[in-house]
Structure 1
């Protein structure tokens, strides 16, 4: 069984295995297919039209499947690798260990956001950005962008306390757990982290930055934590809802998976016991 660990608990060997698998997927061209998929969906998902991966109830099951597909791709390179998660309520500064040069590298230089250290630095020639939002072909970050602060544990707890998964109008204006976690309402968890990292993470092509996977693994863990706290709270909507994915409807692009299929993550992986 795959066990996803807090990135702060990874050994040096585990870090090397993870980054090595990322680089291998990148060199084979398989990595950029995931970037393209995410960018395509975030650009298509709108509040008043069809929405699948974002601004909608299926935000969480869609990303759960997306991460599972990516984790399987990593494991096809190295079966020992699992997606780590980044607990941004604890590792809250650019000095945190995940930004060290032996793992993801740090923030970008001031004039253009270019990441200059770590295995994904442009100078190493192993991480050319092919799915671009502009003409630049290097990984960009601006950690702490705009003077923002990462979410606190108290803010996370306030969202985990919400008993209702989602509610009309089933978009970025909704109340409920999903939208407060996604970040369009309230304390803003998921979205705020994307903006804090900045650079590519603040765009639809956010998986260009490998920290995307660690961030979303933690978002997925928070969903799992919420499910454990509220076992009687179900995925909503269950049926007959225009423009969104109901409980037993298939999710694009896969065509063989529904939100109901993604409710139990333990069929595929577990999380360690770290907070």
Structure 2
């Protein structure tokens, strides 16, 4: 309840950055827009894991400093729901104790207001970054309701409703995670973690969780908390892994990555964070652990 309160608060504060971008209106939008604008520099490149570790910490810091948050950052171990083959009924989607459920068709023909989340603490809220359903992947911004579309609309029944099914649980169950933990090399672990369970969770919740503006979805930070936990768990199996970081800075694989690289953050801070400072969750600017690791 305390985390939800603070998350709602951040979405109600005015923006502090990006004065020249009209679609950025709230403090949360500052974070959402940054993630969107940096998309190609923070996904499918070496810094995916340390950058998002920094980003989740920044979000938690803002909850504390600007919304009086006194709790801890929750994470969502989706492998539990996957193993139970009951993802649509995950506790995180509970309308009372969780974050609300799937979006529902509203009957409206107005783009962006056709599949809205109508229960939970973020119900019936509007967003200004991204296009909204059914044009989630189109470029541009349009006022739209907070949207989810379980299973990404990959199949529809005779009434046009999405066939939800098991929501691709084979991509993020414990068997997949154990395969990831078994890798010896950072790039192998990181590429599978990002490309399979991480990506599939974005796809099966879809709606605002789908495009590069995905921090619009409140579950983004619980999802990435679990991605970070997986990396920390992998690191914990061998102390040398706290310094293991290889790969490329660009998706074309032309610029080798280094642990001394600065990470891009646009207007989110005055100084770009350095990868090496975000390798260990209990050193440098970080000081946390996970309840299960």
Tell me the TM-score normalized by structure 1.
0.79
For the Cα contact (< 8 Å) 1:106–1:118, is it kept in 2? Answer: yes
**Is 2:33 aligned against 1:31?**
no
Per the TM alignment, residue 244 of structure 1 is displaced from its structure 2 partner at its CA by 5.6
Give RMSD over aligned pairs. 2.0
Please list, as runs of the form range in 1=range in 2, the aligned pairs for 1:38-117 lying within 5 A after superposition.
Answer: 38-42=35-39, 45=40, 51=41, 53-76=42-65, 77-92=67-82, 93-102=87-96, 103-110=98-105, 112-117=114-119
Distance 1:91 1:269 in 2: 28
Match of 1:212 in 2: 220
Q: List alignment gaps of at least 5 residues for structure 2.
A: 14-25, 107-113, 133-141, 155-164
Aligned to 1:153: 174
Match among 209, 223, 232 for residue 224 of structure 1: 232
SS of 1:214's equivalent in the other structure is helix
How much does 1:165 deviate? 0.6
- In the TM superposition, what is the alpha-carbon distance from 1:110 to its structure 2 partner? 4.1
Does residue 1:264 correspond to 2:271, yes or no?
no
**Of 123, 131, 145, the match for 1:133:** 131
**Separation (CA, whole Å) in 2 of partners of 1:244 and 1:84:** 33
Instruction: Tell me the distance in 1 between the aligned counterparts of 2:64 and 2:256.
Output: 32
Matched-pair contact (CA < 8 Å) for 1:19–1:119: yes
**Contact map agreement 1:84 1:214 (CA 8 A) in 2:** yes
> Residues of 1 paired with 2:192 and 2:213: CA distance?
22
Q: How many residues align?
A: 234
Q: Is the 8 A contact 1:58 1:244 kept in 2?
A: no
Relative contact order (C-alpha < 8 Å, sep 6+): which is higher?
Answer: 1
Query: Aligned-pair distance for 1:230?
Result: 3.1
Q: Any idea what SS the aligned residue of 2:146 has? A: coil
CA–CA distance in 2 between the matches of 1:210 and 1:244?
33
Q: Is the 8 A contact 1:251 1:259 kept in 2?
A: yes
Residue range with higher mean Cα deviation, 130-139 or 61-70: 130-139
Any gaps of 5 or more consecutive residues in structure 1? 1-15, 46-50, 167-175
TM superposition shift of 1:78 = 2.2
| Aligned residue in 1 for 2:264 | 252
Give the corresponding residue for 1:171: none
CA distance in 2, matches of 1:81, 1:133: 33
Query: Matched residue of 1:155: which SS?
Result: helix
Q: Which residue of 1 aligns with 2:137?
A: none
1:97 Cα shift? 1.3
Match of 1:119 among 118, 121, 144: 121
1:21 pairs with 2:6: yes
Q: Residue 248 of structure 2 contacts residue 255 of structure 2 at CA under 8 Å; is this kept in 1?
A: no
Other structure's SS at 1:109 match: strand
Larger Rg: 2
SS at match of 1:270: coil
C-alpha deviation, 1:25, in angstroms: 0.7
